[in-house]
Amino acid sequence: MQTQRDPSALHADMLARRSRAERIGFVPTMGFLHAGHTSLMEKARALCDHLVVSIYVNPLQFGPNEDLERYPQDHEGDAAKCAAVGVDTLFLPPELYDPDHSTNVSVSDLADGLCGASRPGHFDGVTTVVARLFGLVQPHVAVFGEKDYQQLAVIRRMVRDLCMPVEVVGGELIRDTDGLAMSSRNAYLSPEERTRGLTLHQALFAIRDAEIPSVADRISLGREILRADRIDYLEIVDAETLKPLRDIDGPARALVAAWIGGTRLIDNIGL
Ligand code: AMP
């Protein structure tokens, strides 16, 4: 595995590989890797010749009072995990944007509700960094996790709307043995907070399994189970459009974002 820190050198290497007809696979991350990340790498590994993983904590997708400054980091441990799953290039740029970077990519509609409503500007930061990373890495295929269900939908829309020649593949949400959706941010949780964090998936599972026709009643049931300090949202939406549903008459998704102490957790499940 090679580690590349220089964006221009990475770009040149990728263009050379493309000209040799190598199929490039890509998994972008913010590091502090866990089994959710490595499952995406394994999925991508099977779809390409040369697998690139990036680790970059993108300031553009953090709000002013969010956890950018304390986002957990472990480059050594991350590199070992990447090597173990057969990553070819680990892209670790100290900086990704030119000082006079002036282009932003913004997806409307799909990015407006849910996390877009509670984290203004977040998805603009995500689509801008992913567009730039796609430009640098030139992947044929990129894998994103269903853990960030809305993010996956927003990126698919960006790729479709801008005719980016990248196949976007979703990877299933990976949970810890206690059911908590794996997340780098779980490292912030005290034992007591982690116990309350478990109520996110418990609420979602109850919503999925309830034999209640009314969407509003299912959401009330979920809210009774949640032991969060604040709920940003708990919604049942159309799995494609992400619009809130009144009745479940097709593929639907329940999504939650809630604060446990100072940590914002998200989770979702198919209904
Ligand atoms: P992050 O490092 O949090 O930006 O995540 C990088 C990628 O890993 C994104 O595509 C996430 O959706 C994905 N990911 C994070 N946690 C999980 C998980 N528990 N299961 C599956 N994918 C995940």
Ligand 1 pocket check: which of 42, 87, 148, 265 to mutate, most ligand atoms within 8 Å of Cβ?
Answer: 148
At 213 the pLDDT is 86
- Take residue 69 and report the two structure tokens written for it: 């400054």
Ligand 1 atom, smallest distance to 37 CA: 8
Mean predicted confidence (pLDDT) in 111-132 = 98
| pLDDT, tens digit, 9 for 90 and up, residues 31-62 | 999 999 999 999 999 999 999 999 999 999 99
pTM over 0.95: yes
Strand-pair partners of 50: 24
How much is the average pLDDT of 235-247? 96
Which strands sit side by side in the sheet containing 230-238, from one edge to the other?
230-238, 252-260, 263-270
User: Do 150 and 176 touch, CB atoms closer than 8 A?
Assistant: no
What's the rounded mean pLDDT across residues 170-198?
98
State whether the beta carbon of 125 lies less than 6 angstroms from ligand 1: no
* Measured distance CA(106)–CA(100) in Å, rounded: 19
The rounded mean pLDDT for the chain is 98
pLDDT digits (tens, 9 = 90+) for 55-98: 999 999 999 999 999 999 999 999 999 999 999 999 999 999 99
Instruction: Classify residue 67 by burial, with Cβ atoms within 10 Å: 0-12, 13-18, 19+.
Output: middle
Protein residue with its CA nearest to atom 6 in ligand 1: 29
Measure 132 CA to ligand 1 centroid, in angstroms.
19
CB 42 within 8 A of CB 85: yes
Residue type for 27, please?
V
Query: Average of pLDDT values for 154-171?
Result: 98
pLDDT (mean) for 100-112? 97
Rounded to an integer, the average pLDDT of 11-25 is 98
Distance 16 CA to ligand 1 centre (A): 29
Probe ligand 1: pick from 147, 182, 264, max atoms within 8 Å of CB? Answer: 147
* Catalytic residue list contains 50: no
| Percent of the chain surpassing pLDDT 90 | 99
Q: Which of 11, 37, 50, 75 is catalytic?
A: 37
Residue nearest to atom 12 of ligand 1 (CA): 145
pLDDT for position 93: 98
* pLDDT at residue number 150: 98
